[in-house]
Amino acid sequence: MKLLVIGNGGREHAIVWKLHRDDPSAQLFCAPGNAGTAAIATNVPIAAKDVDGLLAWAKENRPDFTVVGPEVPLCLGVVDAFQEAGLAAFGPVRAAARLEGSKAFAKEVMRAAQVPTADDVVVRTEAEARAAIARLGVPVVLKADGLAAGKGVSVCMDEAQVEAALKDMFVDAKFGDSAREVLVEQYLEGEEASVLAFVDGATVVPLASSQDHKRLLDGDEGPNTGGMGAYSPAPAVTPDMMAVVKAQVLQPVVDEMARRGTPYHGVLYAGLMLTKDGPKVLEFNCRFGDPETEAILPRLSSPLLPALRACMDGTLADCPVEWDPRPSVCVVMVSGGYPESYPKGLPISGLEEAAKQENVVVFHAGTASRIGAVVTDGGRVLGVTALGGDIREAVDNAYRGVIKIKFDGAGYRSDIAHRALERLA
Rule CB under 6 A: is residue 104 a binding residue for ligand AMP? no
Applying CB under 6 A, the span of 39-47, 180-188, 335-343, 366-374 interacting with ligand AMP comes to: 180-188
Site for ligand GLY in 203-222 (CB under 6 A): 212
Give the DSSP letter of residue 298: G
Nearest residue (CB) to ligand GLY, 153 versus 188: 153
Q: In angstroms, what is the minimal distance from the CB of 194 to ligand GLY? A: 7
Q: How far is residue 80's CA from residue 135's CA, in Å, rounded to a whole number?
A: 41
Q: What is the distance between the alpha carbons of residues 115 and 131, in angstroms, rounded to a whole number?
A: 25
The rounded distance, in Å, linking the Cα atoms of 348 and 188 is 40
Binding to ligand AMP, residues 145-164 (CB under 6 A): 153, 155
Helix/strand/coil for 65: strand
CA–CA gap between residue 193 and residue 279 (Å, rounded): 9
Residue with smaller CB distance to ligand GLY, 252 or 289: 289
Pair type for strands 2-7 and 27-32: parallel
Minimum Å gap between C-beta 220 and ligand AMP is 9
- What is the size of the binding site for ligand GLY (CB under 6 A)? 7
C-alpha distances in Å from residue 86, one per residue of 28, 59, 133, 201, 383: 19, 9, 48, 19, 35
State yes or no: residue 214 binds ligand AMP (CB under 6 A). yes
Q: Is 188 in the site for ligand AMP (CB under 6 A)?
A: yes
Euclidean distance between CA atoms 129 and 139, whole angstroms = 14
Chain-centroid distance of CA 419 in Å reads 20
> Given candidates 57, 105, 187, 323, which one binds ligand AMP under the rule CB under 6 A?
187
Q: Which residues contact 108 (CB under 8 A, 6 or more apart)?
A: none
Instruction: Pick what 185 binds: ligand AMP, ligand GLY, none; C-beta below 5 to 8 Å, kind-dependent.
Output: ligand AMP
Q: From the list ligand GLY, ligand AMP, none, which binds 410 (C-beta under 5 to 8 Å, kind-based)?
A: none
* CB-side neighbour CA atoms (13 Å) of 363: 33
Q: Which does 91 bind (CB under 5 to 8 A by kind): ligand GLY, ligand AMP, none?
A: none
According to CB under 6 A, which one of 227, 279, 378, 388 is a site residue for ligand GLY? 227
Which one, 33 or 227, has the nearer CB to ligand GLY?
A: 227
* Contact flag: residue 185 with ligand AMP (CB under 6 A): yes
What part of residues 148-177 is at the interface with ligand GLY (CB under 6 A)?
A: 150
Pick 225 or 385: Cβ nearer ligand AMP: 225
Interacting span for ligand AMP (CB under 6 A) from 19-27, 160-168, 184-192, 369-377: 184-192
Give the pairing of strands 215-217 and 221-224: antiparallel
The interface region with ligand AMP, picked from 185-193, 348-356, 373-381, 385-393 by CB under 6 A, is 185-193
Q: If you write DSSP's letter for every residue of 68-120 in order, what string do you get?
A: E-SHHHHHTTHHHHHHHTT--EES--HHHHHHHH-HHHHHHHHHHTT--B--E
In the DSSP assignment, the letter for residue 347 is B
285 near ligand GLY (CB under 6 A) = yes
Considering CB under 6 A, how many residues would be counted as binding ligand AMP?
Answer: 13
Q: Contact between 294 and ligand GLY (CB under 6 A)?
A: no
Helix, strand, or coil (residue 376): strand
Among 290, 326, 387, 404, binds ligand GLY (CB under 6 A): 290
> For the residues of 352-368, what is the DSSP string, one character each?
HHHHHSTTEEEEESSEE
283 lies in the binding site for ligand AMP (CB under 6 A): yes
Among 53, 77, 222, 271, the residue binding ligand AMP under the rule CB under 6 A is 271
Q: Which residues contact 276 (CB under 8 A, 6 or more apart)?
A: 189, 190
In 3D, which of 233, 220, 238, 243 has the Cα closest to residue 300? 233
* Cβ(180)–Cβ(145) below 8 Å: yes
Contact 192, 419 (CB under 8 A): no
**Beta carbons within 10 angstroms of residue 283's beta carbon:** 17
Beta carbon of residue 227, minimum distance to ligand GLY (angstroms, whole number)? 4
Contacted entry of ligand GLY, ligand AMP, none for residue 141, CB cut-off 5 to 8 Å set by kind? ligand AMP
Q: Which does 292 bind (CB under 5 to 8 A by kind): ligand GLY, ligand AMP, none?
A: ligand GLY
Residue 12 contacts ligand GLY per CB under 6 A: no
Residue numbers at the binding site for ligand AMP (CB under 6 A) = 118, 141, 153, 155, 185-188, 192, 214, 271, 282-283
